[in-house]
Structure 1
Amino acid sequence: MGGVVSAGVDNDDLVDKLKEADYIKTENVEKIFRLVDRGCYMTKDSQSIAYRDNAWRNGNLHISAPCIYAQVMEGLKLGPGMSFLNLGSGTGYLSTMAGLIIGPTGINHGVELHGDVVEYARERLAWFLANTGSVDVSFFCEPQFSQGNALCIKEEKMLYDRVYCGASCPSSHENYMKNLIKVNGILVMPRNDKLLKIVRTGENSWCTESLLPVSFSSLIMPDNSLTAEEVELPSVNLISLQELSREAIRKHFRDCIEKENESLKKAFIYIIPPKPSPKSRKTPMSCLNGNHPKVAMSDTENDTDDSEARDGEWERLSSSQSLHESMHSAFLELARSFINRGTRETSDGNNDLVEEQEGEEECGSRG
């Protein structure tokens, strides 16, 4: 499954290498990995290691290795309008990527044990929405994060199209996890040192596939000595017909713009990428080598070497790219054409009506 891949000098470079190593396989997954810069979900003092294929941890904050997330996103096969539940949602990095695929008609829930991490995820989400640049947030499903133990979700829960669990599931709760998904739904979770893709084929039947050998920390079990506090997930509100119509119109405009301006289809980078540094070290990523199936990816690795931090890295990552001028121009031009066409049609209709009325008056005067 690909050979050893070196670390990226920036987010784009990392994505290129994951794609070359066949961890990223589909255009949709490639697009969202480029849209959501991994470095923006790590702390300022960790920017020098943001684009290595290692798990990152800082206190309670945690992000899995990029190759693991690539396998997760490919395995989930997310699509527009789906419902998604992220157990152990952490910084919100994965949930943000999911939200760009499922879109405004989807459902995007996350459950995180630590309150400080939930606040961090909400702050990063606010930053993303304020600095998205050429990302159209009207086509984004905002994640909703809840604090609590992922093993304590209320029994009268809704079922989801897609579920990801970011920690190893104990054997005693395997059925609990499986029953979070609808029939034909997909659950991706680590168990027994494997990243599993589980498809629910019937009310009481599942099909399991191993995606990757991994090493994850285990989910924290609820304290049996106390009454575990149940996690109540956000309520789901139906989208109004007006909102659905608005999204359909936006999509129509965007499709027309992209059809007439092919180059805009690839204009989806919202962060100004830092220039590659000549001193950047090409550290090999600890990706799984297909020739050594027993080598597992570790999700608990803690790499905090900041000796190669680039000057101004955080400032560059925190700066947002301006909205794509050509896309705005194309949108305005298309909107004007629709308005002008409607005005002409209305004007022509009014002229026909006036001529018809004048003809009737002339006939009446003759009569």
Structure 2
Amino acid sequence: MGGAVSAGEDNDDLIDNLKEAQYVRTERVEQAFRAIDRGDYYLDGYRDNAYKDLAWKHGNIHLSAPCIYSEVMEALKLQQGLSFLNLGSGTGYLSTMVGLIIGPFGVNHGIELHKDVVEYARERLDDFIKNSDSFDRFELCEPHFVVGNCLEISTDSHQYDRIYCGAGVQKDHENYMKILLKVGGILVMPIEDQLTQIIRTGQSSWESKNILAVSFAPLVQQNRTDGSKPKAVVLPPLTVRSLQDLARIYIRRTLRSLTGDDCATRCSTQRASQKRKRRRFRRRRRINTYVFVGNQLIPQPMDSEEDECIEEESKDEEREKEKDVEPAKPEEPQVNHLRMKILSLPLPESLKAYLLYHREK
């Protein structure tokens, strides 16, 4: 599924295309997409396909098409402080983008069937925290991933404000998913080849809306021929942050505000959409006229004068447009102001490392 937008050369180009096609519609979703490079979630040797609007699968590792993720992010209507559950969390790409929006006081949990994929997701998250400058421009609610089947979640599990399921849900599992949702919460999942948004309006009332036609692999159901009862999957507990952790959050928030590197006030991750101008060429059409030579009718090709005029007008329009376009200025490299500020403080190196989350970059 995918291919709804043109292929991009890099992550920003991909987001420009998603915006132009109206898949990305809100500022906070655009910021999250620009902050995390989709290519970082591809295996080495496959990154050339990262900026195409196509799904990608290698073994158990899977990424949906960018147009799907953008529709999901918009439909979830994310806000700071919400709790989020990702059923079939995969590489953690979507969960990390969600974490940038719901912030450090939200809840961000994911459940994934395959252990190797959970390990891969944790590696990608660790790489983002240690090496991406975007980590210092946002306040992240770090995703916590567990291995298990999302159809076997413990019955005493807590409910969530927002839920996404990344696999096809059969009708007989729809109510199971709904029960995991808080009143007023939003659930987005594919049902019968339709990406569907479900809002829980009361204890036993829901509103549903189809968003997009999709094709997802169905949820995996465990076959237990021996009749044994499946072991319930326990989701991560809802924990209160330590005082030390809260201090780090507020110190970093204050320093970020002082350096003017706060994404809430500066759209530093956005860029003006400057699409490359594609020059359109018209082929001169050849038409046949017929003349009599003796008793024979002979075709004689000649150029269409009408097409020549159209071609000349098109060239004139292109020249006028090129006059109005200013030469592109080279992009200045982004500066990690928060990191520079922390490193300049007269503090012990161990405390600086703690404030930087022991980042390596």
Q: Same fold (TM over 0.5)?
A: yes
The offset of 1:235, in angstroms, is 1.5
Give the letter for the 2:196 counterpart: L
C-alpha change, 1:325 and 1:208, in structure 2 (3 Å) is closer
Give the secondary structure class of the aligned counterpart of 1:189: strand
1:175 aligns with 2:189: no
The answer to which of 248-257 and 48-57 deviates more is 248-257
1:16 aligns with 2:16: yes
Q: In the alignment, what sits opposite 2:232?
A: 230
The offset of 1:123, in angstroms, is 1.1
The offset of 1:145, in angstroms, is 0.8
Q: In the alignment, what sits opposite 2:335?
A: 324
Task: Give a deviation string over 1:110-147, Cα, whole Å, max 9, x none.
Answer: 10011111111111111111112242288211111111
- Stretches of structure 2 that go unaligned for 5 or more consecutive residues are 271-275, 277-332, 347-361
Q: In the alignment, what sits opposite 1:197?
A: 197
Give the letter for the 1:35 counterpart: A
Which is greater in Rg?
2
**Would you say the 8 A contact 1:104–1:138 is kept in 2?**
no
C-alpha change, 1:123 and 1:188, in structure 2 (3 Å) is same
**Would you say the 8 A contact 1:86–1:110 is kept in 2?**
yes
Q: In the alignment, what sits opposite 1:40?
A: 40
**Would you say the 8 A contact 1:38–1:93 is kept in 2?**
yes
C-alpha change, 1:153 and 1:80, in structure 2 (3 Å) is same
C-alpha change, 1:329 and 1:112, in structure 2 (3 Å) is closer
The offset of 1:244, in angstroms, is 3.7
- Alpha-carbon distance between aligned partners in 2 of 1:330 and 1:263, rounded to the nearest angstrom: 19
1:213 aligns with 2:224: no
- Alpha-carbon distance between aligned partners in 2 of 1:229 and 1:188, rounded to the nearest angstrom: 26
Task: Give a deviation string over 1:209-240, Cα, whole Å, max 9, x none.
Answer: 11111111100113243322211111121124
Q: Structure 1-normalised TM-score?
A: 0.70
The offset of 1:179, in angstroms, is 0.7
C-alpha change, 1:141 and 1:223, in structure 2 (3 Å) is same
More helix by share: 1
Task: Give a deviation string over 1:244-269, Cα, whole Å, max 9, x none.
Answer: 4553443344334338x999924349
Give the letter for the 1:231 counterpart: V
The offset of 1:331, in angstroms, is 7.4
Give the secondary structure class of the aligned counterpart of 2:46: helix
- Alpha-carbon distance between aligned partners in 2 of 1:69 and 1:263, rounded to the nearest angstrom: 22
The offset of 1:328, in angstroms, is 5.2
1:265 aligns with 2:269: no
C-alpha change, 1:326 and 1:102, in structure 2 (3 Å) is closer
Mapping for residues 150-165 of structure 1, pairs under 5 Å:
150-165=150-165
The offset of 1:332, in angstroms, is 8.4
C-alpha change, 1:210 and 1:115, in structure 2 (3 Å) is same
Question: Which protein has greater RCO, CA pairs closer than 8 Å, 6+ apart?
Answer: 1
Give the secondary structure class of the aligned counterpart of 1:118: helix
The answer to which of 81-90 and 131-140 deviates more is 131-140
Q: In the alignment, what sits opposite 2:113?
A: 113
**Would you say the 8 A contact 2:128–2:135 is kept in 1?**
no
Q: In the alignment, what sits opposite 1:143?
A: 143
**Would you say the 8 A contact 1:197–1:209 is kept in 2?**
yes
- Alpha-carbon distance between aligned partners in 2 of 1:142 and 1:97, rounded to the nearest angstrom: 10
- Alpha-carbon distance between aligned partners in 1 of 2:197 and 2:191, rounded to the nearest angstrom: 10
Task: Give a deviation string over 1:72-127, Cα, whole Å, max 9, x none.
Answer: 00011111111110000001110111111111111111100111111111111111
Q: In the alignment, what sits opposite 1:104?
A: 104
Give the letter for the 1:91 counterpart: T
- Alpha-carbon distance between aligned partners in 1 of 2:209 and 2:222, rounded to the nearest angstrom: 28
